[in-house]
Amino acid sequence: MVIKSLDFQKLGLMVCGFALMISSFFLVSSPASAATTSIKMGADNGMLVFQPATVSIKSGDTVQWVNNKLPPHNVVFDVAHSPENAKSLSHKKLLFTPGEAFEVTFDEPGTYSFYCEPHRGAGMAGKVIVE
């Protein structure tokens, strides 16, 4: 009886050890998760700006633009700074409702300049720097 009890304890320890080893493999080998950074379209104080105007992210991260104040807003990427990506990254549709949002995931390192088409003359422009 005592011998069988010890055998079950050893077996239980071996199973737990094996499970711990397998689970630690998944924790160590899981890829880093991508981050999402938010940019407000229109500052809280009513200024026609992107807030923040410049963000730095890593390749694979996502930027979310959120309609905040003084709509309508959109995001158009400058062809002069990113000619091959400007059209596909841009969101030309105007957002009218506070809280409306859209996202862009950046896979290529570089500097991407953008502006709000209706408020470009007011200086509503920004930059995404992808490392």
Does domain 36-130 fall into CATH 2.60.40.420?
A: yes
Residue 73 annotated to the active site: yes
Catalytic annotation, pick one of 14, 16, 21, 124: 124
- Residue-wise burial string across 6-41, b where 16 or more C-beta atoms lie within 10 A, e elsewhere: eeeeeeeeeeeeeeeeeeeeeeeeeeeeeeeeebbb
pLDDT in tens, 6-44: 565 665 555 545 554 555 544 444 456 899 999 999 999
Q: Which of 14, 47, 73, 81 is catalytic?
A: 73
**pLDDT for residue 18:** 53
DSSP count for the chain of H helices, then E strands = 2, 9
Quick: pLDDT tens for 50-74. Answer: 999 999 999 999 999 999 999 999 9
Q: How confident is the model at residue 84 (pLDDT cuts 50, 70, 90)?
A: confident
**Residue 39 contacts residue 102 (beta carbons within 8 Å):** no
116 is catalytic: yes
47 is catalytic: no
Domain boundaries, the chain: 1-30, 36-130
Q: Spot the catalytic one: 1, 41, 91, 116.
A: 116
To the query of whether residue 119 is one of the catalytic residues in this protein, the response is yes
Q: Decide if pLDDT at 47 tops 90.
A: yes
What pLDDT is stored for residue 8 in this prediction? 56
